[in-house]
Amino acid sequence: MNLRRSTGLAETKIHDILRNDRRRRVLEHLQESVGSVTLRELAETIAANEANQSPPPRALRESVYNSLHQTHLPKLDDENVIRYDKHRKTVELRPRARDVNIYMEVVTRYGIPWADYYRSVATASLALVVASEIGAPLVNVVPTLLWAIP
């Protein structure tokens, strides 16, 4: 199956991107950050995560730095998921990262992220509680408290 997202990134390419732990960690770190991040900061964070200690061993930090610089960041940049400035050694997300992000989230079998699903249920429940309180027809037949239990 070779489905394409709205921006044209093939599903097989998305799976190829996410197949590597370091690429996933790059995307996770960038999603949690605001703006661009330096390669040094990325390498430090990923190495600390892999070593389960901070600061990470120097050899591991250098290994992560080199693999990000030579392999992983250029691959993500080639797919337009990130913007990697090799001269300034900065990295930032591009809009196409949203296509990859959906595969990193836990989703329902219908492709809706659970966060969106629960937000919708909570909004509908709130609307029913308010409608019941103001006496909307059909809704006020059921006690308000029951509408609050999704």
pLDDT digits (tens, 9 = 90+) for 43-66: 999 999 999 988 999 999 999 999
| Domain 11-104: CATH class, spelled out | mainly alpha
pLDDT, residue 140, reads 78
pLDDT digits (tens, 9 = 90+) for 73-84: 999 999 999 999
List the domain boundaries for the chain.
11-104, 114-147
Ordered DSSP codes for 79-131:
TTSEEEETTTTEEEE-TTHHHHHHHHS-B-TTS-BHHHHHHHHHHHHHHHHHH
Please state at what angle helix 58-67 crosses helix 39-51, rounded to 10 degrees: 130
133 with 146: CB under 8 angstroms? no
18 closest CA partner among 84, 101, 87: 101
Ordered DSSP codes for 42-73:
HHHHHHHHHHTSSSPPHHHHHHHHHHIIIIIH
pLDDT, residue 2, reads 44
Torsion sign (Cα): 10, 16, 17, 19: positive
**Range among 6-15, 55-64, 118-127 rated most confident:** 55-64
pLDDT, residue 73, reads 96
46 with 69: CB under 8 angstroms? no
89 closest CA partner among 111, 74, 108, 106: 74
Residue at token pair 């489905």: 3
pLDDT, residue 117, reads 79
17 with 76: CB under 8 angstroms? yes
40 with 89: CB under 8 angstroms? yes
pLDDT at 105 > cutoff 70: no
More confident residue, 86 or 141: 86
Average pLDDT, the chain: 85
